[in-house]
Amino acid sequence: MSSSKIIFITGVSSGFGRALAQEAINHGHRVVGTVRSAEAKASFEALAPASAFARLLDVTDFTAIDGVIDEVEAAVGPIDVLVNNAGYGHEGVMEESSLDEMKRQFDVNVFGAVAMIKALLPLMRQRRGGHILNITSMGGFITLPGIAYYCGSKFALEGISETLSQELQPFGIAVTAVAPGSFRTDWAGRSMVRSPRAIADYDPLFNPLRQAREAKNGKQLGDPVKAAQAMLAVIESDSPPTHLLLGSDALGLVRNKLAVLSAEIDAWEHLTRSTDG
């Protein structure tokens, strides 16, 4: 086992966050996890009273984040790893989905993660070490009709993560964007926000996708515990990757996307080059 770390994970009530927290505790790490209720706080801390510490925090309450980070550093210890896991999926045809729904999606999936990073970065930079994991999605590489806001938020977090890794490399701080495929979590179930349907023109394209997603929920190929073990291996690595796909479905879909993109670039290369002065 590597040396014990203090790992701060946003959203530990269920899904990837809960699985990663449990695996990290099993490996001798201490975990601070954010939750949204007193009941969830008690449930999480009961996992391991000496190793599991819960804090009430909504990552979109940007003014509260600095205080939580400072309190954790004083009460538990210096945070070695930040895992931005809190997030949710929005499903809806873009024309039917409100701008308020888009704002909420980006507030949680992007601005919440960035606010957490900005609160902790000065401390990690002073210590010249640390690791940030941002849980993105294969939807940060590939797209499907009906999840434009979700894919947009994950594309954004992928870009931020990669840029941040370049900025922080001189300080010994690693950044890894973890992009899972389809896993048996609540993402497509109770956690997903769905815009109501209104425009019949989209029915032939969208309805089969929604039905397939609902039918597949709970039967996805990916095992959250195995995903947690993979993330823990990255956390414990001396040379963590900047990008990590999780799941054979993500691997196949992203490789296909890159092949299609490469072919399109080649097909239009003549026009691309034509703009040089």
* Residues annotated as part of the active site: 150
- CA proximity to 87, closest of 161, 30, 13, 144: 13
User: Can you spell out the DSSP letters for 71-113?
Assistant: HHHHHT----EEEE-----EEB-GGGS-HHHHHHHHIIIIIHH
108 and 87 in contact (C-beta within 8 Å)?
A: yes
Strand-pairing partners, residue 175, are: 132
Joined tokens for residue 142? 């590939």
How far, in Å, CA of 64 to CA of 69, rounded? 9
Neighbours of 253 (CB within 10 A): 19
The most distant pair of C-alpha atoms in the chain lies apart, rounded to whole Å, by 66
- 3-state DSSP assignment of residue 142: coil
- Alpha carbon dihedral 79, 238, 142, 117, in 10-degree steps, equals 20
